Structure 1
Amino acid sequence: MNVIDKFKLCGFNIGGFILFRWIYQIYWQNRLLPDIYMLFGLVALLVVLDIIRLRPGKSLNIQGILLQYIVQKVLSLFGYFIQKRLESMSANIQDHQDKLLLNILKQQSETDVGKMLRIGEIKSVDDFRKSIPLTMYDDYEPFVNIIEESGCSNVFFPGKVDYIACTSGTTSGSSKKFPKSFSILRKTSGKWLILAQKCFTNLPRNQFIRKWLAVRCTSNIWLSKSGIKCGPISGLASNFSLNFYVVPNIAKDLKDDETVIYLNLVFGLKHPDICNLFFSTAQMALSFFQVLERKWPSICNDIEHGTLSSLNGLTINERNSLIQSLGGGDSDRAEFLRKEFENGFIGIVPRVWPECPGMFCLATGSFMTQADVVKKRYLDSVPIFSPFHAGTETFYGINLHLGEQEVTYTLMMPFNYFEFIPVENTVEENPQTLQCNQLSIGEKYELVVTTWEGLYRYRTEDIVEIVGFYGTIPRYKFVRRRNDILSATTEHVPETLVSEAIRKEAVTWDNDLVDFVTTENIYINKVLGHITEEHYYTVFIELEHDDILVENESEKVDLHLQSLHEMYQRFRDSGRLQSLKIVLVRGGTFQNIGRLIRTLNKTTSLMQYKLPRIMRNEKLVQYLLDNRLNTHDIKKDSCNSVSDHPPNPQG
């Protein structure tokens, strides 16, 4: 008898008890109203019926089902009250923002950063905006270095630092570091994550009592000279988890990212009734499925025999603990999976997890291409939800409208003070800012934040577009990073427009787009030792199958880009810019680029890795050139600028 049948039998017995008790009261005690025993029985019956409605996973035991049910109900209740509080704030969010700022300044006035900025002398919001200049990471780096060296307290915020969170460094080449406090995180973002949990469970089938398949990697953790843990923000976020996972917690602490992915595949595929798929980014999701395609025979063997025979590097205790948690083999499930994998991986998710409600990951900005690949190849009808907009420095927004097609976020104004720089003024060193009650729908702004963790008027470099309001709280969509701009001469073209032009044209190709990056030709000339008076953009593209494009694809993408950006069109018409060039690279190139980037920057983990859309690093440009397809296989217009550089067959 499976666990659902046990709950059905339990409900039948409770119902029978209530009926018998009521008949007994009526005929033998002449009482119509239920007594205390019947009331308890009715409550128990309602709980059992609700659990049956939530279709618990067949692999769960009764204790696990009851625990997850209670936790989900408590979180849902808290989420309801938090949402009501947010709605109350949204009536006049600017008033709340002003009070929030003054509270932050009061708490931080005696910190080292606060003393440097003399925030104890500030008496009003206007004083703050006039006397404190906009800041960048360079303003805080000396204080971070002090904490790393000596572990000082009261530097950014009152008290000690519990963790130093590091950015991926894939854009700048080096990681930025932000001190974190567990108590401040619980006070601020912690409770608002419960609201996110409520949004998750509002989605169809996502409220079922089942375990999440969430790939969590915390391998890149180290100690500073002062003994403080350092690493990606994901290493900290996993300590604040509110969910029940298919994979034991021991897996996330293993040192090899691919081992962690493999374990998630073994445990996750053994369960046909997972709640959902959860990844930090669409890049992480793509890596997950790429490992599946390479290692599915070993995965099926381990599921069949209840082993982890293909994994090396595990200690005896780790292996024994994981095998025990796996709970033995399942030959029927393994045979089913083999047949599905042998039929290919197009639409594999709904075939192996037919009730999976969706995949959660960061899928906007630089992750859009990977999200498109995952959706088209693996997900089929299963939707992608992008729940958060967050950075290592702070948590910016939450997607309160997960069911909508367009991904938008609502600013988390309850715990950050926000200002906004109009996009046309972002090139200025210290531009004037706007407050949330001065924003216009359809306009773009750079976000500026003041946080409980010691950042003041910090320029985030994130450009967003206001799409509406939740009450008076701005709703927005992420557009790009401020410096994601291409400029071969003196034009300034956002990389997002190049991406849009490529995606528009790619839908007409017979070969699926895997990924791409763009650079100005000066960086290619620098690698090759060329001197040329021409100026143009080069787009390195990887397709699903190594193949050629028709002769005029570069021209078509260039025409799309001209239609999207007036200045680019003017430079093209005047001859100051030449037509964009497409260079095709071998399959697997961008997967290897990711490994190379993580090798060059040891602090970057797979969970936070993102492919830089503009490629200017000399080693990475060289690698792309080494892995381009043979030039005689590419039409003349695609690569005539680099045709004399032979590909490296070992790339």
Structure 2
Amino acid sequence: MSLDCDLTVLEELTSNAKQIQDDVLTKILKANANTEYLGRFLQGSADKELFKKNVPVVSYEDLKPYLDRVANGEPSDVISGEPITASGTSSGNQKIFPANNIFFKNIHIFYTLGYLVMSKHFDGYKQGKVIRFTFIHPTSTTPCGLPLAPTVTSFTKSEFFRSLPKNSPSPYQIMLCPDAKQSMYCQLLCGLVQRDEVVSVGAVFASVLVQVIHFLENYWKELASNIRCGHVSEWITDLSCRDTVTTILVEPNPELADLIENECRQESLQGIVSRLWPKAKCIDAIFTGSMAQYIPALEFYSNKLPLVSKSYASSEAFFGLNLEPLSKHVSYTFLPNMSYFEFIDVDGGTEGEIVDLVNVKLGHHYEPLVTNFSGLHRCRVGDVLQVTGFYNMAPQFRFVRRKNAALSALARATLVLESSDLVIMGFTCYADISTVPGHYVFYLELKSKFNNNNSTNVLSLDNKVLVECCCVMEESLNSFYRLFRSKNGSIGALEISVVQEGTFGSLMEFFVSRGASITQYKTPICINSAEALKVLEDKVLARFFSDKSPPYLILA
């Protein structure tokens, strides 16, 4: 798909969703019917009804033995009719997902359409620069030599990525730097030098963008110094980074250095994004699901620029685009050419019924199944989505995820903290069974809106406010929790442990050191690793507990 195309392509895709989905499934079955995996169920047939009748719904774990065999050197046709050329790894979990050129071509189409949607809604988007902090993960190989890296890394290194619009202030070589710290520094440096051209600031996930801003807090003096003298710091040793930054940092710019220093040394970093990049029209990242916890922080840092969740994607497939990026009610329009999509109805009249893309019902909640061009067939993704409407014939979904009590509790705590000068910068929780009775611990990293860059400043924590947070969080948990908490005391008082500033950056470094990709990193909602828990416990500043049991209401 050429970048010279327009959004009529989107109209054609969504208007012909049923036919395109039928064609996609036919193409997949013709290519894969004789693989060892599908052959067990189809005996070489490419009949779509036989596929729906005989091929089971599976999880990743069901397919893992086949994927491991290909990774260990057996032919791709164990599971895929198309040659598997790379393996995408799910961040932190080391799940291997097959990928091939058809998959990467679809990602290219997806990105192109997303670019066109953003151009439609934001004046000057095509003409300006888009900062999208991108980092690659070191590529390893499977035992048979297949490249093994997260999907974003594999795509970024591919020829398909290089044919996307050249509208980043950072040259391509900087994004390929294997050292995340050097890459982040140089991407920030390039973005600051070209600040007057930047129309959007973002990353894949909101959590990554928060970490970038923390990095800026620590390095703004050095960045300004580099701009003042026209030379990059000596610790930037990656030759590609040094050489390419030199093409951007062509001469000393003391006026820009003064401006950066004046903005970053102010009492508060509130609005720092819009102050450093005054023409930025939006913040672009994923803000749905567990990423919603970072909305208050990024609203604080951006002076409430529009927060745009423009796409819904995973290692299994790229699903849909947000066609109304300025709306606070985020819905994704599924693109029928990406993969073959089916949906398990999780709350409809016939619970568990599987329906096609165009047969989902408004308001219903579904779990998507993916059959793609790389070897996944009727594979559960694990998300829960709700149908919010239709764009032509293509359904639009709100990302719900499985109902998560921890996120509901966090939302209540955020409302309490709005009355103070504290912003939640990071969050996770842990079920502590070392106490009797056991209880839930919520780790919060809090930041004052003021007293920026004062290393001697001690975070002021109001006991009354934090205890109130504990109480309202307990009240937001379900009736079973409230019953066991208030009636028979089998659950102890909820605890908030406030950790030092920068703790969640350290937590990210911990997971990255164990294989997670910085670009695709998500702070776990619940901690189940003793080593990760130690990272948090070593940084605890203060602990607060609920001082009353939540009401347990029996509905008549």
TM-score interval (norm. to shorter) = 0.7 to 0.9
Secondary structure at 2:324's aligned position in 1? coil
Secondary structure at 1:78's aligned position in 2? coil
Aligned to 1:233: 151
Map 1:597-612 to 2 at 5 A: 597-599=511-513, 601-602=514-515, 604-612=516-524
Map 1:82-231 to 2 at 5 A: 82-89=9-16, 93-94=17-18, 96-118=20-42, 120-121=44-45, 123-125=47-49, 127-150=50-73, 152-169=75-92, 174-186=93-105, 188-231=106-149
Residues 501 and 440 of structure 1, relative CA distance in 2, 3 Å threshold: farther
Superposition deviation, residue 96 in structure 1: 4.2
- Out of 508, 520, 530, the position equivalent to 1:618 is 530
Aligned to 2:461: 548
Secondary structure at 2:232's aligned position in 1? coil
Listed one character per residue, the Cα deviations across residues 511-551 of structure 1 (whole Å, up to 9, x for unaligned) are 221221122222xx1xxxx4x2x243221112115343434
Listed one character per residue, the Cα deviations across residues 555-599 of structure 1 (whole Å, up to 9, x for unaligned) are 555445545634444444533544422222222211111111222
Equivalent residues of 2:137, 2:150 under 8 A apart: no
Superposition deviation, residue 399 in structure 1: 0.8
Secondary structure at 2:87's aligned position in 1? strand
Which residue identity lines up with residue 461 of structure 1 in the other structure?
Answer: G
Secondary structure at 2:355's aligned position in 1? coil
Map 1:444-463 to 2 at 5 A: 444-463=365-384
Equivalent residues of 1:107, 1:158 under 8 A apart: yes
Equivalent residues of 1:164, 1:230 under 8 A apart: yes
Superposition deviation, residue 553 in structure 1: 4.2
Secondary structure at 2:383's aligned position in 1? strand
Count residues in correspondence. 529
Cα distance in structure 2, aligned partners of 1:199 and 1:423 = 31
Q: Does 1:470 align with 2:391?
A: yes
Equivalent residues of 1:105, 1:119 under 8 A apart: no
Superposition deviation, residue 99 in structure 1: 4.2
Superposition deviation, residue 129 in structure 1: 2.6
Listed one character per residue, the Cα deviations across residues 117-155 of structure 1 (whole Å, up to 9, x for unaligned) are 436336233x32331211111122222222222263334
Aligned to 1:294: 218
Cα distance in structure 2, aligned partners of 1:251 and 1:363 = 26
Equivalent residues of 1:581, 1:638 under 8 A apart: no
Aligned to 2:229: 305
Which residue identity lines up with residue 626 of structure 1 in the other structure?
Answer: D
Which residue identity lines up with residue 86 of structure 2 in the other structure?
Answer: Y
Cα distance in structure 2, aligned partners of 1:260 and 1:408 = 32
Residues 372 and 221 of structure 1, relative CA distance in 2, 3 Å threshold: farther
Map 1:338-487 to 2 at 5 A: 338-343=261-266, 344-376=268-300, 378-423=301-346, 431-480=352-401, 482=402
Aligned to 1:648: none
Secondary structure at 2:377's aligned position in 1? coil
TM-score, structure 1 length as denominator?
Answer: 0.75
Secondary structure at 1:133's aligned position in 2? coil
Q: Does 1:78 align with 2:2?
A: no
Equivalent residues of 2:423, 2:447 under 8 A apart: yes
Superposition deviation, residue 256 in structure 1: 1.2
Residues 500 and 336 of structure 1, relative CA distance in 2, 3 Å threshold: closer
Which residue identity lines up with residue 418 of structure 1 in the other structure?
Answer: F
Over the residues paired in the alignment, what is the CA RMSD in angstroms? 2.8
Name which of structure 1's ranges 564-573 and 395-404 shifts more when overlaid on structure 2.
564-573
Listed one character per residue, the Cα deviations across residues 295-340 of structure 1 (whole Å, up to 9, x for unaligned) are 111101111222112434324x652343134322222212222222
Equivalent residues of 1:420, 1:434 under 8 A apart: yes
Cα distance in structure 2, aligned partners of 1:557 and 1:423 = 32
Secondary structure at 2:397's aligned position in 1? strand
Cα distance in structure 1, aligned partners of 2:468 and 2:248 = 56
Equivalent residues of 1:447, 1:463 under 8 A apart: yes
* Percent identity of paired positions between Structure 1 and Structure 2: 23
Superposition deviation, residue 167 in structure 1: 0.7
Equivalent residues of 2:410, 2:473 under 8 A apart: no
Listed one character per residue, the Cα deviations across residues 330-382 of structure 1 (whole Å, up to 9, x for unaligned) are 22212222222222422122222211121211121111222331221x21142
Cα distance in structure 2, aligned partners of 1:557 and 1:366 = 20
Aligned to 1:627: 539
Residues 211 and 374 of structure 1, relative CA distance in 2, 3 Å threshold: same
Residues 143 and 542 of structure 1, relative CA distance in 2, 3 Å threshold: same
Cα distance in structure 1, aligned partners of 2:176 and 2:19 = 43
Secondary structure at 2:400's aligned position in 1? strand
Equivalent residues of 1:212, 1:243 under 8 A apart: no
Which residue identity lines up with residue 518 of structure 2 in the other structure?
Answer: L
Q: Does 1:507 align with 2:418?
A: yes
Equivalent residues of 2:14, 2:394 under 8 A apart: no
Q: In proportion to residue count, which structure has more helix?
A: 1
Secondary structure at 2:315's aligned position in 1? coil
Secondary structure at 1:275's aligned position in 2? strand
Cα distance in structure 2, aligned partners of 1:222 and 1:547 = 45
Cα distance in structure 2, aligned partners of 1:226 and 1:413 = 33
Q: Which gives a bigger RCO, structure 1 or 2 (Cα 8 Å, sep 6+)?
A: 2
Which residue identity lines up with residue 175 of structure 1 in the other structure?
Answer: Q
Secondary structure at 1:500's aligned position in 2? helix
Residues 178 and 636 of structure 1, relative CA distance in 2, 3 Å threshold: closer
Superposition deviation, residue 462 in structure 1: 0.8
TM-score, structure 2 length as denominator?
Answer: 0.87
Which residue identity lines up with residue 513 of structure 1 in the other structure?
Answer: I
Gaps of 5+ in 1: 1-70, 486-493, 640-651
Listed one character per residue, the Cα deviations across residues 239-292 of structure 1 (whole Å, up to 9, x for unaligned) are 333122211111112121111110011111011222322311111211211111
- Out of 180, 195, 201, the position equivalent to 1:257 is 180
Residues 87 and 390 of structure 1, relative CA distance in 2, 3 Å threshold: closer
Aligned to 1:8: none
Superposition deviation, residue 217 in structure 1: 1.3
Which residue identity lines up with residue 419 of structure 2 in the other structure?
Answer: T
Cα distance in structure 1, aligned partners of 2:498 and 2:533 = 13
Q: In proportion to residue count, which structure has more strand?
A: 2
Cα distance in structure 2, aligned partners of 1:219 and 1:511 = 34
Secondary structure at 2:327's aligned position in 1? coil
Residues 101 and 558 of structure 1, relative CA distance in 2, 3 Å threshold: farther
Aligned to 2:406: 495
Cα distance in structure 2, aligned partners of 1:577 and 1:168 = 33
Cα distance in structure 2, aligned partners of 1:168 and 1:119 = 35
Residues 213 and 552 of structure 1, relative CA distance in 2, 3 Å threshold: closer
Q: Does 1:517 align with 2:435?
A: no
Aligned to 2:440: 537
Structure exhibiting the larger radius of gyration computed from Cα positions = 1
Equivalent residues of 1:266, 1:299 under 8 A apart: yes
Cα distance in structure 1, aligned partners of 2:424 and 2:90 = 28
Superposition deviation, residue 636 in structure 1: 5.6
Residues 312 and 407 of structure 1, relative CA distance in 2, 3 Å threshold: same
Residues 351 and 553 of structure 1, relative CA distance in 2, 3 Å threshold: closer
Aligned to 1:40: none
Gaps of 5+ in 2: 449-458, 549-556
Cα distance in structure 2, aligned partners of 1:561 and 1:410 = 36
